[in-house]
Each structure stands twice: as C-alpha cells, then as structure tokens.
Copies of this chain bind each other. A is one copy, B any other.
C-alpha cells in the first residue's frame, strides 16, 4: 500500500547527497522518475564510471584518472612552491586567480574534531613527504579562514616548520572592492593587525 520498494530504495539512496534530507530526497526521486528519466540514466552511468575511473593523484592528492595528474606532470609549473588547499574546488579557485603557477597539495578535508577528523584521518604524512622532496622551497597554506581551516593551518604549519620547511599563509583582510561599512568587525580587526607598510 505504501511506496514500492525500488522507489523507497531510490529515496533512501539519494540521501547520500550532501544536504539532502528525507523530504527533498522524496521530491528528487519523483522529479527524476517523472521528468528526468534520461538524466537519471545518465547520472547512474556517470556515477559508475567516475567511481571506476577516479583515484587520488600520487603527488597532489586531487582526483584524477591517471597515476599522476596533468598539473603535477606539467613542466610549466614552478615546483618550488606548494600550495595546500582543502578541496579540488579550492584548487580551481586558486587557478582562476591566474596569480599562482606553483604546484598543489589537496588535503581532501580539514581537521575537524567534531566530525572525528583528526590529523591522522587526513594522512598528512603524505603531504610531509611531498613537501620534503628537496625541490619544494615554500609551502603556502590556503585552507579556509573558518575555525576548522584555521586549526588545520595551525597544525600544518607546526608540523612543517618542525621539519625545517618554510611555510606561509595567504593573507586575511578586507576583500578587494569591499567597503569597511559592510565588512565584519573580526575581518577588519585582522586587516588592521596585519597592515603592511606602504612604499614611501
């Protein structure tokens, strides 16, 4: 009398998507079955193919179909700089600045004790090995400026400095085009504390 089992299974399975609760899983399932059957078929295929094809780059840890990703193999990148980001999306954001031509290491997460993710779960020994390859001269930490991103940055910087690696952190401050009136007090305080001398 209730929902047929293959429908129930689909609704349940959709809940593995981030931020999808029971109500929206139900809505998604009906939408797919009613209006997006071709799209749903493509989604099933794409999931299976991606699960089969994608793995972590041996050098930068991002998702790739090869042993080592194209960016890590490129001779045009400056191998003396290594930028540490939380996710591949953050790496894309950095690339879009066109202001960085070094290499990356993607943590695929952040230290988050509340979610049970400590330094061990992030396999930071791989980053340490990567940063100690003799070519890297500077590790630039570009984790988020959230509590968790900051804790991760702190942990990484202690770990790397203790091994003699030179570490920097991208700057905090008022956004470009930002008006002081609309910037939160914490950001403004940091921008003040981290003020830079102007050339005379």
Binding site for B on A (CB under 8 A): 1, 3-7, 9-10, 12-14, 16-18, 26-34, 36-37, 39-54, 63-66, 69-71, 74, 87-89, 92, 108-109
Cβ 8 A contact of A51, one of B33, B48, B92: B33
Tell me the nearest residue of chain B to A23, going by C-beta: B89
Cβ 8 A contact of A53, one of B4, B14, B92: B4
Given contacts A34-B108, A37-B51, A40-B50, 17 further A-B contacts (CB under 8 A): A4-B64, A4-B65, A6-B49, A7-B63, A12-B46, A14-B43, A16-B42, A17-B31, A18-B31, A26-B89, A29-B50, A30-B87, A34-B63, A40-B51, A44-B47, A44-B48, A44-B51
CB pair B46–A1 under 8 Å, yes or no, is: no
Nearest 9 pairs between A and B by C-beta?
A: A16-B39, A13-B46, A44-B47, A6-B53, A10-B50, A13-B43, A4-B65, A10-B46, A44-B44
Chain B neighbourhood of A54, CB < 8 A: 4, 6-7, 33
A151 to B1 alpha-carbon distance, docked (Å) = 30
Beyond A28-B18, A51-B37, A63-B33, is A1–B70 a contact (Cβ under 8 Å)?
Answer: yes
A188 to B62 alpha-carbon distance, docked (Å) = 56
Tell me the nearest residue of chain B to A39, going by C-beta: B16
CB pair A16–B33 under 8 Å, yes or no, is: no
CB pair A47–B51 under 8 Å, yes or no, is: no
Q: Which of A4, A29, A36, A49 has the most CB of B within 10 A?
A: A4
A80 to chain B, nearest CB (A): 19
